[in-house]
């Protein structure tokens, strides 16, 4: 099948690479010429395990190409995926300007029947908007259909999630149109659900909002555990073994960040209000999440005293492991609060140092390893749970620090082990390990 993917970010690039790997002819289009030049040169604009190898293989086999000419790509394709950014406005409303611009370009170039697929995360009703824009821009009437096919990939495991999704959602006006997507995804042999278009649009937001609510719920429980002397890890185990609840997304810590959960929750709150419903539950989810970074810094202030004469090593800067994405990363808020309190900050991330340098104050000193960042520090704040940090030589780390105290925002370590190693250790929703 001839496929055009418009947008070469996380969703578009991974989608294009996987469809090419399944034997389709794919062209990824982007209006960022510098990004396209990099991709043509074999340079990935994002860090994602396995992506570079897949792109290189399919470009070499002639199934995957990159370009900036949307009109030419539309004309040569049977199915067109819209996978551009849908950021939040200050009000929480989703900015659909990129989607509308792409829809207009598709309409102007359409020369025969096409299936246009919304892959971007968009509010309910966007499918009809895309249909209206395309129809309005066509030089002459040409039949087409609009389908919703939301993505559920996670940064850091995007290739795996695209090749082996737990479900494929197809929102189409008719069964016949849906079969085009069913045929495209058939080689994956994964469960598919075919719905009407608005329902598919709601499924994506409802899924992400539910997971965000689960994260905020366990963080609220962690606050209770800290006050009562309970252990949130034990509480999580007891809850997660209930099959109605499950253990996934039930880890207490610094809350959610990244490119999806924050904007999707905000968008659903805004959409609900537009439709006449005050989504109070989700507004509480956002409020709880917003307080998590301040909670960690206040924990540090209580243990260390005034922070204006302290050096803090921040380990982990990306919003989650296995990505260099800094969007809505908890590290940014933690560092902003520490910097505002006068602390000197040293920082390290296995892959996100480069992106972080462009976003953080000049006063942040970046290390090339966790050990370098920790040298002479009064405390470590562990913000992102990279696997590399699980296997640090903690005795070596303790010897490098001015004061061996760790504030673990992701509950990466076991308190009893930290006690044996001589650390003062504070984590989320668990009793602190205090100095003898």
Separation CA 26–CA 152 (nearest Å):
21
Separation CA 316–CA 384 (nearest Å):
4
Closest among 187, 198, 18, 210 to 118, alpha carbons compared:
198
Q: Please report which residue ranges of 110-242 form alpha helices under DSSP H.
A: 126-137, 158-163, 175-185, 197-228, 232-240
Residue 132, pLDDT score: 97
Q: What is the DSSP string of 313-357?
A: EEE--SSSTT----TT-HHHHHHHHHHHTT-EEEEE-TTTHHHHH
Closest among 297, 303, 300, 372 to 335, alpha carbons compared:
297
Residue 332, pLDDT score: 96
Residue 305 burial (CB < 10 Å; 0-12/13-18/19+)?
A: exposed
How does pLDDT run along the chain (436 residues), one tens digit per residue? 999 999 999 899 999 999 999 999 999 999 999 999 999 999 999 888 899 999 999 999 999 999 999 999 999 999 999 999 999 898 889 999 999 999 999 999 999 999 999 999 999 999 999 999 999 999 999 999 999 999 998 888 889 999 999 999 999 999 999 999 999 999 999 999 999 999 999 999 999 999 999 999 999 999 999 999 999 999 999 999 999 999 999 999 999 998 889 999 999 999 999 999 999 999 999 999 999 999 999 999 999 999 999 999 999 999 999 999 999 999 999 999 999 999 999 999 999 999 999 999 788 999 999 999 999 999 999 999 999 999 999 999 999 999 999 999 999 999 999 999 999 999 999 999 998 7
CA 12 to chain centre: 14
Residue 155, pLDDT score: 84
Residue 2, pLDDT score: 97
Written as six digits, the tokens of 228 are 């009562």
45: how many CB neighbours lie within 10 A of its CB? 16
Residue 219 burial (CB < 10 Å; 0-12/13-18/19+)?
A: buried
286: how many CB neighbours lie within 10 A of its CB? 21
Are residues 144 and 116 in contact, defined by beta-carbon separation less than 8 angstroms? yes
Residue 238, pLDDT score: 97
Separation CA 314–CA 428 (nearest Å):
16
Closest among 322, 383, 379, 331 to 359, alpha carbons compared:
331
Backbone angles phi, psi at 365, to 5 degrees: -100, 125
Separation CA 158–CA 218 (nearest Å):
25
Separation CA 207–CA 6 (nearest Å):
24
What's the residue count for the chain?
Answer: 436
Q: Quick check: is 38 catalytic?
A: no
Q: Torsion angle, CA of 220/224/230/234, rounded to 10 degrees?
A: -20
Q: Which residues of 306-340 are buried (b: 16+ CB within 10 A; e: fewer)?
A: ebeebbbbbbbbbbbbbbbbbbbbbbbbbbebbbe
**Domains identified in the chain and CATH numbers:** 2-194 (3.40.50.720), 204-290 (1.10.1040.10), 292-427 (3.40.50.720)
Separation CA 55–CA 388 (nearest Å):
26
Q: First-to-last CA distance in the chain?
A: 68
Written as six digits, the tokens of 103 are 């829809």
């Amino acid at each position: 099948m001839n496929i055009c993917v418009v947008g070469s970010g996380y969703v578009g690039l991974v989608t294009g690479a996987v469809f090419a790997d399944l034997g389709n002819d794919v062209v990824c289009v982007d209006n960022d010429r510098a990004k396209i030049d990099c991709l043509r040169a074999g340079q990935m604009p994002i860090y994602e395990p396995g992506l570079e190898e897949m792109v290189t293989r399919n470009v070499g086999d002639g199934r995957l190409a990159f370009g900036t000419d949307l009109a030419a790509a539309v004309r040569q394709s049977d199915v067109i995926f819209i996978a551009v950014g849908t950021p939040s406005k200050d009000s929480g409303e989703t900015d659909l300007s990129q989607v509308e611009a792409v829809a207009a370009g598709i309409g102007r170039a359409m020369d025969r029947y096409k299936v246009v697929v919304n892959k971007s995360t968009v509010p309910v009703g966007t499918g009809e908007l895309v249909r209206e824009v395309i129809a309005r821009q066509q030089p002459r009437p040409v039949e087409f259909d609009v389908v919703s096919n939301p993505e559920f990939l996670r940064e850091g495991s995007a290739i795996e999630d695209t090749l082996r999704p737990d479900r494929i959602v197809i929102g189409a006006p008719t069964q016949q149109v849906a079969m085009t997507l069913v045929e495209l995804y058939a080689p994956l042999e994964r469960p598919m659900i075919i719905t009407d278009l608005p329902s598919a649009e709601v499924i994506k937001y409802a899924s992400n909002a539910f997971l965000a609510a689960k994260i905020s719920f366990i963080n609220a429980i962690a606050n209770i555990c800290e006050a009562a002397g309970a252990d949130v890890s034990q509480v999580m185990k007891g809850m997660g073994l209930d099959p109605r609840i499950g253990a996934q997304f039930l880890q207490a810590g610094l809350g959610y960040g990244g490119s999806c959960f924050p904007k999707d929750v905000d968008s659903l709150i805004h959409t609900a209000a537009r439709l006449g419903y005050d989504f109070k539950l989700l507004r509480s989810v956002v409020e709880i999440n917003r307080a998590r970074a301040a909670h960690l810094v206040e924990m540090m202030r209580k243990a260390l005293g005034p922070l204006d004469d302290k050096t803090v090593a921040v380990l982990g800067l990306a919003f989650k492991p296995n990505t260099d994405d800094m969007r809505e990363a908890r590290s940014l808020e933690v560092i902003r609060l520490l910097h505002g309190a006068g602390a000197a900050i040293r920082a390290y991330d296995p892959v996100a140092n480069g992106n972080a340098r462009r976003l953080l104050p000049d006063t942040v000193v970046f290390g090339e390893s966790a050990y370098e960042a920790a040298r002479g520090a009064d405390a470590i704040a562990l913000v992102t749970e990279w696997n590399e940090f699980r296997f640090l030589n903690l005795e070596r780390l303790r010897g490098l620090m001015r004061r061996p105290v760790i504030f673990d925002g992701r509950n990466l370590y076991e308190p009893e082990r930290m006690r044996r190693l001589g650390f003062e250790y504070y984590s989320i929703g668990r009793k602190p390990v205090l100095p003898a």
